[in-house]
Structure 1
Amino acid sequence: MAEFGKPLSVHETSIPGLLLFDLPVHGDNRGWFKENWQREKMTSLGLPDFGPVQNNISFNDAAGTTRGIHAEPWDKWVSVATGRIFGAWVDLREGPSFGATFTTEIDASRAIFVPRGVGNAYQTLEPDTAYTYLVNDHWSPDAAYTFLNLADESVAIDWPIPLEDAELSGKDAAHPRLADVQPIAPKRVLVVGAGGQLGRALRHEYADAGRVEFATRDDLDITAPGLEKARRWRDYDTIINASAFTAVDKAETLEGRADAWAANVTGLTELARIAARNGIVLVHVSSDYVFDGSLARPYRESDPLSPLGVYGQTKAAGDAVVATVQRHYILRTSWVIGDGANFVRTMAGLADRGVDPRVVDDQYGRLTFTSDLARGIRHLLDREEAYGTYNLTSSGHVMSWADIAREVFELTGHDADRVTPVTTTDYFASASGPVAPRPRNSALDLSRIEDTGFRPSDGREALGRYLRDR
């Protein structure tokens, strides 16, 4: 008999993430009614918004029917429709809680959330017991399962009906002991665009993390058909999108426009769809080009988008797409400098070769070093900061391109006066092809990410380190 009148409440258990719920059951002379799963109420109490896609029922004729211990690569919401069970759960995930155990009885007035990798078993205490569960993935022969023997001595589950008197399958009786169990690994992180400047910085940042997978464009092209089938996406909990079309002037050409939209919007839309469908955190890198640069102050994350050219339009559209993913981070940057061809290396090369450059002095902003960007991405993910948009550049004074060029000359031991400042109009006056409009003010306000405890590098100090290491 279900216990009537309990308020909806949640209880933590001895296994991290395993949550036991009391459910309100309303009954009268006709029977009873309950809300077995109610997304809004239960997520407000701490139930993960796990996105179930399948509902299964296991009916058991006799008391003493015992099933398990099975750990699957998906989350489960377990309850009882009729009867009563003794449930046992063992943490079979990699990590310090491996082997932790929790047991309790469940009737119609209780339910339990079982996170991916936690072994699940139950023993019926009444005949005609129906055990029901929601799962957030479809069964697949390619999925990785882990099993533990019901009689394992190290977890020592005190079964109400001794196993020798219980009804269980030969397969369940033959499962391995805990010492022989292969733990379920955490879900993986996938870095897309791992061959670019940011991708290389992310390789360095995550060099100590075995669960991070890196995919270059040759490995995974988000603009190619069949992206949905390219991976078993339920095995990932995070995608970091470091791929993009960034040739801003080429984007103003007929061919470049199509390529920019394909990479920055169409392919990204499919990636976002995959993330939303599979509950994956999507990390995306955006740009100062989503703004027109007309403000007299640094741009905040909440400022309206107003891109000037094709590249900026594709990045703004990409931001809007990513924002539809429930769990997302958008990192807005400017003037990116990393391992590859970039403005700083060009200026240092000109200085060394004795070339005196003309450099634009009416566009203002800050450099973004890819080491900072990679560090900031990991900071947000590791700390599970609030989802949304964050500006991230180096800190320090806002400077023009000409100011930065003079800094490069000075830091490499050359005369900064060799740099001649010019206007944007004069600089591009003799350009032979299309020129993308640039925002005059690319400075981004860093308050939001700094409020999370992240400290971007000082721009001049980071520039000095970069030049020493080039």
Structure 2
Amino acid sequence: MNNAPIVQETGIAGLLLVHLPVHEDARGWFKENWQRAKMVAAGLPDFRPVQNNVSFNRLAGTTRGIHAEPWDKYVAVIGGSVFGAWVDLRAGEGFGKSFSATLGPGQAVFVPRGVGNGFQTLEPDTGYSYLVTEHWSEKARSGYTFLNLADPSAGIPWPIPLAKATVSEADRTHPMLDALTPVGPRKTMVLGANGQLGRALAALAPADGSYEFATRGQMDITDARQLAALDLSGYRAVINAAAYTQVDEAETPAGRRASWAANVTAVGQLAVACTQHGTTLVHLSSDYVFDGRKPSYTEFDAPCPLGVYGQTKAAGDAVVAQAPRHYLVRTSWVVGDGKNFVSTMTRLARAGVDPSVIDDQFGRLCFARDLAAGILHLLDSQAPYGTYNLTNEGETVSWARIAAEVFAALGHDPGRITATSTDGYRAAHPAMAPRPVHSTLELSKIKATGFIPPDQFEALAGYLAAYLPEA
């Protein structure tokens, strides 16, 4: 018995016609109306419905729609047959494009958010079922967009003329296409907008209103009440660029509490909210989840953190991995608009200070602009969910080597850098938390998605010119 569905494109982006195997005998018929594993394998999005609605229609010619709701849905006939009509009401070049098909027990349709759905029954006592990705509420109704069934530009060939059909007064009076405001894209929320990554995302994200940026003052992720009140029903993704990153301070009693609150407890609450709304969670991880005993790390290496900060990041990673739609982006040695190692070395070089810099910790820089570009690439390309390492490309180097490169790029003598060991540095700074010796992250997985990070030292030159020009 062949139970594999077949998924067919329709000409409207994301609108998919599904052909379902129907098994008939003298008693009637049986079908698997929705079977997640088989549907996803056949090509449907893993849209994870939360509510099932059924419309029962007594008369042939009953006509409903065209409604575009603020969620995805999967529609199918559970008795009788219908003529289905769909119109793309989303902003973009597809606006106004229509598709129609007759649905019986052997057909279903996946309807993405923003595509109007309507139907006309062809038989009495017809049942029309739809699975949706959000719970219905009166508030949600404000996000509907309606199109008149008789709109001439849609060109829908209703089998039963609308004048003879059973149609509600509301559906008869909905606006024509030329009077509609197109449905905009679901938004992406960036938390931690004032950080180095948040600022880089603000510089690269489209300026069409599809990205919103929240500073800690606007959304403190450690405030459980604020997170509980966060409504993600209109968001396709949340990029969590907020975190506790004070590595040394995390070893203190107060720092330990703050680190666990921001990096674990808040992340867990955020992951639950994203799961409930089918929202993609992008979360930043760190090389500190490893002990640094290996020369480099892949996405498949198990965490083994040394200090409190690394422990909280590893715990947060485990929580995020339970969200069905997540990108866990692991990075290291981030440099952006703000205080960081490169900005510190620049200040010291210009001030005439000759610093001692550790030469037995190894890794690669990650410039916030390239980190942001990689994250946007994952979202826009709809890369497979999961964990991705993301830093700049290039050879593995020490902190002392980076300091020398900064001095040289600024026209200062790199010989002013004094190399020191981690133990030697800790002797002068006893509060320093343990750090991994090796922080190099393998990049083959992110490259396989089509994103090729720039070389770290090529990016360094651009960074110094953009953020740290000579005063």
TM-score bracket for the superposition, by shorter chain length: over 0.9
Moved more, 335-344 or 395-404: 395-404
Which whole-Å CA distance do the structure 1 matches of 2:384 and 2:305 have between them? 26
Aligned pair partner of 1:441 in 422, 428, 438? 438
Q: For residue 238 of structure 1, what is the amino acid of its counterpart?
A: A
Q: 1:307 to 1:95 in 2, by over 3 A?
A: same
Segment of structure 1 superposing worse, 95-104 or 322-331:
322-331
Q: Is the 8 A contact 2:224 2:266 kept in 1?
A: no
Structure 2 unaligned spans of 5+: none
Matches within 5 A, 1:32-431: 32-143=29-140, 144-227=143-226, 229-295=228-294, 297-431=295-429
Going from structure 1 to structure 2, the CA distance change for 1:461 and 1:11 (only over 3 Å counts) comes to closer
Farther-moved stretch of structure 1 (4-13 vs 370-379): 4-13
Displacement of 1:147 after TM fit? Answer: 0.5
Distance 2:448 2:73 in 1: 35
- 1: CA distance between counterparts of 2:198 and 2:163? 56
In 1, Cα distance between equivalents of 2:22 and 2:263? 50
Q: CA deviation at 1:238?
A: 1.1
1:96 and 1:358 map into 2 onto residues whose CA distance is 58
Bigger Cα displacement from structure 2, 102-111 vs 253-262: 102-111
- Tell me the SS of whatever aligns to 1:134: strand
* 1:421-456 deviations in Å (ceiling 9; x for gaps): 111122121336x32101111122222222333222
**Which deviates more, 24-33 or 132-141?**
24-33
3-state SS, counterpart of residue 246 of structure 1: coil
Q: Secondary structure at the match of 2:100?
A: strand
RMSD: 1.8
TM-score by length of 1: 0.95
2:449 alignment partner AA: T
TM-score for the superposition, normalised by structure 2 = 0.95
Structure 1 SS opposite 2:463: helix
Cα drift, residue 313 of structure 1? 0.7
Label 1:7 to 1:291 Cα distance change in 2 as closer, same or farther (>3 A). closer
Q: Give the letter aligned to residue 111 of structure 2.
A: V
CA distance in 2, matches of 1:90, 1:198: 38
Which amino acid is 1:83 matched to? G
Q: 1:14 to 1:455 in 2, by over 3 A?
A: closer
Deviations 1:380-403 (A, max 9, x none): 222222222222222222221112
CA–CA distance in structure 1, aligned partners of residues 324 and 453 of structure 2:
26
Counterpart CA distance in 2 for 1:451 and 1:122 is: 42
**What amino acid sits opposite 1:376 in the alignment?**
G
Percent of aligned pairs with the same residue? 58
Q: Report the CA distance between 1:194 and its aligned residue.
A: 0.8
- Structure 1: which amino acid aligns with 2:120? Q
Q: C-alpha displacement at 1:29, in angstroms?
A: 2.8
Please list the CA deviations of residues 64-107 of structure 1 after superposition, one character each: whole Å capped at 9, or x if unmatched. Answer: 11111111111222122222211111111111111111112112
Distance in 1, Cα, partners of 2:43 & 2:447 = 27
Match of 2:16 in 1: 19
**What SS does the corresponding residue of 1:428 show, helix, strand or coil?**
helix
CA–CA separation in structure 1 for the residues paired with 2:392 and 2:105: 56
- The CA deviation at 1:227 is 4.6
Greater CA drift, 393-402 or 303-312: 393-402
List aligned pairs for 1:3-14, cutoff 5 A.
8-14=5-11
CA distance in structure 2 between the partners assigned to 1:47 and 1:455 by the alignment: 28
Supply the distance in 1 between the matched residues of 2:265 and 2:357 (Cα, whole angstroms): 35
Contact map agreement 1:5 1:26 (CA 8 A) in 2: no
Give the conservation status (yes or no) of the 8 Å contact 1:191–1:240.
yes
Contact residue 53 and residue 129 of structure 2 kept, 8 A:
yes
Change (3 A) 1:8 1:456: closer
Mean Cα displacement is larger for which, 328-337 or 254-263?
Answer: 328-337
Aligned residues: 465
Which stretch shifts more, 401-410 or 228-237? 228-237
1:337 and 1:343 in contact (8 A); partners too: yes
Runs of 4+ aligned residues of structure 1 deviating over 4 Å after TM superposition are: 4-7
Show the counterpart of 2:450.
453
Mapped contact 1:368–1:392 kept (Cα < 8 A): yes
Separation in 2 of the partners of 1:466 and 1:261?
32
SS of equivalent residue, structure 2 residue 138: coil
